[in-house]
Chain A
């Protein structure tokens, strides 16, 4: 039996912005002045957020997801590894998914290999090691030239894997990270190494490079619906072209959820947090209003060919998640699902059935959402949504992917 894996993702947003933030500031990223940080109120914030992730573990989620961002209000984890280390001591069961460390921002990838190996040992082998390249805001945060970032990234990915699997010391003769002695202590607990997840936003280059190496792909794009299904099909085709076998657990997907007793109550309770998330934290990232920094001419990470395709396919000024202005638009966008257990179950089931993706990474806490509301939504999800999704998906995946019965693949799925 291989049911869908349900993870709880926490971004750890900054919740104490002034009410007129959107009117007064161009961006929640890079240039957002840190004089807005309220030292008195924010002191307890990490504790509150860590407690919510511990609660997810108690509720039976399959894991907890963290990620790295810098100098912004969207996600307060410049080092997700520090939160991961805390979780190793407070949780017992769920995977700890760090998605991921932004490799081009690290001067030496061995530091990532070392810290991940520590977390893997400290957690009893529960680490899922996300390795990510970083987007436009991060390019500005750490002045990372984008045309070279991909080359740097893949060299670092390969070096980390070698550091975990090949006997040391050995020499790494890389272009970006030449090292005479690669010989990390500790080695990770999992064999041959912790699962490696690579996030991507629909670019074929990333899928290709991920598949070639046998790693798993996490779709970080907020464009759901048919695009998700297409992405899964493409990744499946690419894996098979490289001689691998596609199954739902080769891919993950980011989705956001708020559950309450009824659709109407869900909207009422989540209104403040959801719209704070959309209008404030996405400003500068996935919103045209203000200055969007995530991709474009100033942070030219795409090859010229990819950019040509982007111009062909994307409508000028096409809507992004942050441009949604009403609940209906939000519903149509498909990335944030707010409703009763039945509604949420139905929408997620459509997604699972359509895209056949086995790892759902779900955001429950939005912007300045109150702790008790985030917990309520998580609890209702765990008790009234998750069981049906697990049961139905196990049937579906069992029918469509009989190879999941193989021991080797089952190992990969776990």
Chain B
């Protein structure tokens, strides 16, 4: 299911499943590649209708770490190369959490190649007085293995069953510990400074993307304040804001059917509109 692509001498792991319209999906923390080496129900939900292509960020899962990636700009150019290598001219683009940030940055640079854009609990914006929470400090456990603050940051609540299953207290099997470590190496590279996970200039550039977009946010997001989803929806020229009840930042894990349906609805809308045009 996962193949390796060579990008400038670095292996990039690409998971691909389903058929139909191509959807490039950029993962978040509680996600395929970020904390799971296998698909989760959300990804199967997408793959039922479209061809989902999900590369692992540099250093994540089995992608090689790339010492040249220091900024969001580097990550974006990395993905432009990935798209070229995949032979994907135009595609739908979706991303969750930090992956949503990268997706938005790609969309404003190559709007002509992005047929639709779905942002799921996306970080990426600077909204004064509404800082993105400190996931880096929260992932440092308390009292030698209590990860409740970390779960609280990524999910609607620390004791949500999906949260406990994905990030239990104490030491996880080495393979899952390493997945999480790799994910945080990548996130630190592009998102530790300025604190955290955003690009101050992105907000004023959002208008460059005029295609169909959906901004999906959990009503109980403890990582990214809802003001960010509203700012995305306002800044993108043609975006719908979809708030999901009983979900935090990891909507795709907490409400997989609803999250997949929202992404697919945006894709359907874009395809229908393109057909009319």
Contacts and interface: CB of A to CB of B under 8 A. Distances in A.
16 contacts: A26-B142, A143-B193, A145-B188, A145-B189, A145-B193, A291-B140, A291-B142, A296-B140, A297-B140, A298-B135, A298-B139, A300-B181, A304-B59, A316-B170, A317-B144, A317-B171
Report which residue of B141, B178, B184, B192 has the largest number of chain A beta carbons within 10 angstroms of its beta carbon. B192
Interface of A: 26, 30-31, 136, 139-140, 143-148, 151, 288-293, 296-300, 304, 307-308, 311-312, 316-317
Interface in B143-157: 143-145, 149
Contacts of B194: 143
B185 A299 contact: no
B180 interface: yes
B144 A304 contact: no
Contact of B140 (A292, A307, A316): A292
A102 B171 CA distance: 31
A298 B136 contact: yes
A31 B137 CA distance: 10
Interface string B164-178: 000000110010011
B269 interface: no
B67 interface: yes
A307 B65 CA distance: 14
A311 B142 CA distance: 18
Q: How large is the interface on B (under 10, 10 to 19, 20 to 34, 35 or more residues)?
A: 20 to 34
A304 B192 contact: no
B138 A298 contact: yes
B137 A146 contact: no
Nearest to A142: B193
A148 B144 contact: no
Contacts of B65: 147, 304
Contacts of A31: 137
A59 B136 CA distance: 45
B70 interface: yes
B176 to A, nearest CB: 11
B182 interface: yes
A156 to B, nearest CB: 16
Given A145-B192, A290-B142, 6 more contacts: A145-B70, A297-B140, A297-B181, A300-B181, A304-B182, A311-B178
A297 B180 contact: yes
Given A304-B178, A308-B174, A308-B178, A289 B144 contact: yes
